[in-house]
Structure 1
Amino acid sequence: MIAQASRLNHVEEYYFSTKLKEVRALQDSGKPIINLGVGSPDLQPPPQVMTALHQALLNPSAHQYQPYRGTNDFRKAIAEFYQNFYSVALDHETEILPLMGSKEGITHISMAFLNEGDEVLVPNPGYPTYASVSRLVGASTVLYNLNEETGWLPDFEELEKRDLSKVKLMWVNYPNMPTGAVAKKELFEQLYRFGKKHSILVVNDNPYSFILNEEPQSILKYCEDMDGVLELNSLSKSFNMSGWRIGMLCGSEKHINTVLKVKTNMDSGMFFPLQAGAAMALRLSPEWFSEQNKIYQRRKEEIVKLATALKCSFSEDQAGMFLWCKVPQGNTSEGFVEHLLKKYHIFAAPGFIFGSQGEGYIRFSLCASEENIIKACNRLTA
């Protein structure tokens, strides 16, 4: 009998991979489940993007291997996007690396910079992939707690009290998932100084900056140099292209080349029409985001009604495509989610899956039609 690799001993299958099987089974049995748990946009990509994708299919070289660094035009589009929306100047030749989704980037960065025995600062609550990938490459996770009282921001006084000698990398994610907290420039400046002081590579995962967020920010804008920082970004949320698997990594030429060593041994370039469509998306006017946010704002208003009816507490000052809520006193996050699922056939994400600091909270997704959210509300009084 062949045993699994020891690196899997401390890694579980992703929660949504297993839980959604249960949800689908309930749906197959005739239960009218309304899924408010997953952040997969249900809206369509921009029509101009679809046109660009179709036209690129006719390019004579469309079906050949593509450059590992992505096409020149796609990298230029990323540089233009960062300049226009974040006021960050990037060299499209050396400081940008297209990715097959930013989740790929988390793995590639970890493989590129972490050795066995290194430590990684991981937010609690936070995206579970940060911790699981760290363990897969043999590094140890060091959780830094975020909490409601401090606005879900890092406590640097507490961090400075720790032994940071083995910490090589720090994951941050603002606008934050799952809490919706927004960072100001002061936080990014503080993160930059903290990383430089302790020789820690700070990586900001930034896929939510245009959703219900009036001031999109990039950590790269607030750094004297990019030697100590990297930023991941994605078209999945902002342009409704999650299934396309397109993201980007931005940073110094040195760091980009380090990650490229991993990437060139893991894939053979991204499908040309996908890059052509992505380049078109990144060149759209700000009006695209305004129209999308009108839809998300209406949905959020209905989710707020749902959460209020459930006697959950929350801050309405949240960015991104979720509403992070505290469950009524006396309930656990898992128990409350199971109650919603079994009694009302509504699925939400339990906070504990994002870390111990998420216990007592649930996350509602805005990736459902306004009609379905209203239908979910009506079930509470039926």
Structure 2
Amino acid sequence: MIEVANRLKHVEEYYFSKKLREVAFLKSQGKPIINLGIGSPDLLPPSNAVLQLKEGLEDDGANKYQSYQGLPELREEIANFYKKRYKVNLSGKTEILPLLGSKEGIMHISMAFLNKGDKVLVPNPGYPTYTSVTKLLGAKPIFYDLKEDNNWLPDFIALERMNLSKVKIMWINYPHMPTGANAPNKFYDEVIAFGKRHNILIVNDNPYSFVLNDRPISIMRYNNAKQVCLELNSLSKTFNMSGWRVGMLVGNYEYLSAVLKVKSNMDSGMFYGIQKGAIEALKCSDMWFVSLNSVYEQRRELIWELVSKLNCTHDKYATGMFVWAKLPPKVKSEEFTDLILKKYSIFIAPGTVFGSNGEGYVRFSLCAPEVTIKEAIARL
């Protein structure tokens, strides 16, 4: 056997990649598995976006390589979307970079700014990819605590006491995954000032703005944000287009140019038809968001019922497409989820997937029809 790269010794296969194989095996054995663990939208994308995708297949040049920076009209529509939905002015020419999904942006940003031995501030709990990408590049994740008693917000006093000399990037993510916590205006001012003070690039990962959240916020609204911040966003959750892989990175031209150097060596542009569909999705009216959230509200009510039946508690003010539930005292997250899978054939995510501060919590996805959630309730 040819030995694999040393970098792979420091990362594990993504938890959901492994767990879904186990779930698929159980299904193949006839187990009636209900999957409430994954945030993969099951609802349909906007019909006009699908129509534009289909029509785009017939356009001249649709099957050719596309621009590494995306169609100019896609960048302009992203700019229009940010202006209308976030009250943020961006230049479609210089401050927007479409991505093949925002997850790839985590790698692109990290490759553009991190050297071996650099440090990265990673939220605990938080999206596991922040940690794995950091390790793959030979940098060091430095975990900062998010705790329920502080509304899942960073403690800036504690951060200031840390040795920040080699920190290059800080990942933030509000509305927060997995907890659903939102950040107040004061937080964005504080984190921008923190980044300026210590010369740290603040990256806001922002794909959950419009799911059960009546206060969508972009960090780019705040003073001096473009000096030290980038923001990732995505059409995956907002428009049920996760499999289309349409994301975006916004920020100042110099930072985006550095990321483009990486991106242009890793892909050959987004498929034309998908870009045309994305343009149409971004034009959706307010009724799209009302309709989307109406469905998720009904599902969330049922998940709350399921949570109660499992003797867990939850925050009714949390947003996003997950319910973060607190287990009874002394109950371990992974033991609990394994038991629920074995006994009731219901798959939910243990909080420890997202970091050590996730111990004692579990996460439920809203990406399942009401009838499926009712079946889960009935099994209990």
TM-score, normalised relative to structure 1 = 0.99
> How many Å apart are 1:329 and its aligned residue?
1.9
In the TM superposition, 1:311-330 aligns within 5 A as 311-330=311-330
Provide the secondary structure at the position in 2 that maps to 1:63. coil
| Structure 1 residues 40 and 225, CA gap change in structure 2 (3 angstroms) | closer
Distance in 2 between residues matched to 1:172 and 1:286, nearest whole Å: 27
SS in 2 for 1:226: helix
Could you give the per-residue CA deviations for residues 194-222 of structure 1, whole angstroms, max 9, x where no partner exists? Answer: 00000000000000000000000000001
Q: Secondary structure at the match of 1:142?
A: strand
Q: Quote the residue 1:165 is aligned against.
A: 165
Alignment of 1:131-280 (within 5 A): 131-280=131-280
Please name the residue that 1:127 is paired with.
Answer: 127
2:354 matched residue in structure 1: 354
CA shift at 1:225, angstroms? 4.6
Alpha-carbon distance in structure 1 between the residues aligned to 2:213 and 2:78: 20
What letter is aligned with 1:306? L
% identity of equivalent residues: 57
Q: Distance in 2 between matches of 1:26 and 1:271?
A: 36
Q: Which runs of 5+ in 2 are unaligned?
A: none
Give 2:87's aligned residue. Answer: 87
**Runs of at least 4 residues off by over 6 Å:** none
Question: TM-score, normalized by length of structure 2?
Answer: 0.99
Q: Post-superposition shift, 1:183?
A: 1.1
- In the TM superposition, residue 285 of structure 1 has moved relative to its aligned partner by 1.0
Aligned-residue offset at 1:331? 1.3
Q: Specify the alignment match of 1:103 in structure 2.
A: 103
Number of equivalenced pairs? 380
Contact in 1 for aligned 2:48/2:281 (Cα 8 Å): yes
Q: Equivalent residue for 1:59?
A: 59
Distance 2:189 2:66 in 1: 37
CA drift of 1:63 comes to 0.5
**SS where residue 277 of structure 1 aligns?**
helix
CA RMSD of aligned residues (A): 0.7
1:224 Cα deviation from its structure 2 partner? 2.2
Separation in structure 2 between the aligned mates of residue 19 and residue 215 of structure 1, nearest angstrom: 34
Q: Which amino acid aligns with 2:344?
A: Y
- 1:169 match: secondary structure: strand
Cα pair 2:203 2:231 within 8 Å, conserved: yes
How far does the alpha carbon of each residue in 1:300-349 deviate from its partner, in whole angstroms, 9 at most, with x for none? 00000000011001111111000001112231000110111011111000
CA distance in 2, matches of 1:231, 1:341: 36
CA contact (8 A) 2:125 2:354 kept: yes
TM-fit CA distance, 1:184: 1.8
Residues 143-196 of structure 1: per-residue CA shift (max 9 Å, x gap): 001010000001001001111111000000000000000112211111110000
**Contact 2:99–2:249 at 8 Å: present in 1 too?**
yes
- Amino acid in structure 1 at the alignment position of 2:93: E
Helix, strand or coil for the counterpart of 2:237?
Answer: coil
User: Structure 1, residues 34-79: CA drift from partner, whole Å, max 9, x if none?
Assistant: 1000000000101011111111111011000100000001001100
> For residue 39 of structure 2, what is the aligned residue in structure 1?
39
Does the CA contact (< 8 Å) of 1:212 and 1:320 recur in 2?
yes
- Are 2:145 and 2:357, in contact at CA under 8 Å, matched by a contact in 1? yes
CA distance in 2, matches of 1:36, 1:190: 35
CA contact (8 A) 1:39 1:366 kept: yes
Give the distance between the partners of 1:301 and 1:78, measured in 2 at CA: 33
Contact 1:204 1:230 in 2 (8 A): yes
Question: Matches of 2:32 and 2:191 in 1, distance apart?
Answer: 45
Give the Cα separation in 1 of the matches to 2:221 and 2:270.
Answer: 28
Cα separation, 2, equivalents of 1:76 and 1:107? 25
SS in 1 for 2:266: coil
Contact 1:227 1:255 in 2 (8 A): no
Distance 1:41 1:219 in 2: 25
Which residue in the other structure is 2:5 paired with? 5
